[in-house]
Structures are given as C-alpha cells and as structure tokens.
Amino acid sequence: MRRAITVRVVGPMQWIVYPALAAVAATILLATPLQLFGLSLPEPVFPLVLAFAWPLIRPSMLAPAVLFGLGLFLDLFWGGPLGLWALSLMAVYGVILLAAKFLAGQATIVLFALYAASTGLAFILVYLVTIMLTGNAPSILAVLGQVAPTLLLFPLADWLMERFDDTDVRFR
C-alpha cells in the first residue's frame, strides 16, 4: 500500500499579505508616544525585512507591488516625501533579487552581512534623497538610531526565509 505524500502549499496570503500587515501593525505600535527612562521607542523599518526576505523566498509579481504600498504607507505615516521609502524598498528588493541565485544555501552570517549591506543601501539612498529635496542633511545620530534597530530585525528575516523557503516544491 502506498502512503500519500502531503505537500504543504503556501499561498501569497501566508508569505506576503500577513507579514505585510504585521509590518504595518508593528510600525504603528512602535510609533506610540511612550517614553521609558526618558527614551522613546525605537522606530525600525519593518518593511525592510520583507524587502530582503521575499526575493530570497520566491520571486513574485505581488511582492514588489506590496512593497511599493508599504513604502507609501511609511512616507505618509512618517510625513516624508511621497515615494522616498517606496524607492528605497524597491531598490533593496531589486538588488537582492539579482543576487538571489548566488545566495541559495549560504550560511546565516553571510545572509546577515548582506542584510546589513542592504539596510545600509536603503538608508544611504533615503539620506541622499532627503539632502537633495530639503537642502539640509538629517542628523547622522538620528539616522543611526533608526539603522541599529532595523539591523536587529534580521532574526525576523531569517525566520521568514526558514519558514517559507521550502514550503512549495513546485518552485524548485
């Protein structure tokens, strides 16, 4: 008697829509005007985790559209120029998508180094566009205060990649 083999098929709701909604909720939650010991809550860029993980999980046509929407949400929520974070997230997605073939099966430390480089790319791009638009350079300490918590989100990206990478063998 043959046993049935179960293949777990994961649709876009599980690996795109739910993480995007969680990123929006976490962004809103950490924007709460709460101070602990005189310090406000950190405001990492949660969609940057998705811009890094999604092209490594599976190329999709829906992911860039959702990233663009998340970037516009960040621009409207933080009061920045419209399209600034959308451009940055799309740039990270594109670079990681181009490098995805070379990153298959790499160690976690290599993925973290690439995550740090892509986070640096995103923030440098935002920093330079902000300088061009306003004529003033933002505070480096404030930018580093947002870069550091964003770098600490790498375990979320690693978890997403581990969770959804081999869920559907039809794409292998």
For the chain, 172 residues long, give each residue's pLDDT as a single digit of tens.
666 665 556 667 778 899 999 999 999 999 888 887 877 888 899 999 999 998 988 888 899 999 999 999 999 999 889 999 999 999 999 999 998 888 877 888 999 999 999 999 999 999 999 999 998 988 999 899 999 999 999 999 999 888 876 554 444 4
Residue type, 44: P
Residue 70 CA to residue 65 CA, distance in Å, equals 9
Contact of 75 with 83, CB cutoff 8 Å = yes
Quote the CA–CA distance of 11 and 49 in Å, as a whole number: 19
Residue 4 is predicted with a pLDDT of: 64
Buried b (16+ CB within 10 A) or exposed e, 51-78: bbbbbbbbebeebbebbbebbbbbbeee
Are the CB atoms for 103 and 114 separated by under 8 Å?
yes
CA dihedral 115, 19, 155, 95 (to 10 degrees): -10
Per-residue pLDDT at 166: 59
Cα–Cα dist 21/10, whole Å: 17
Tokens of 108: 């976690």
SS3 (DSSP) at 35: strand
**DSSP state, 136?**
S
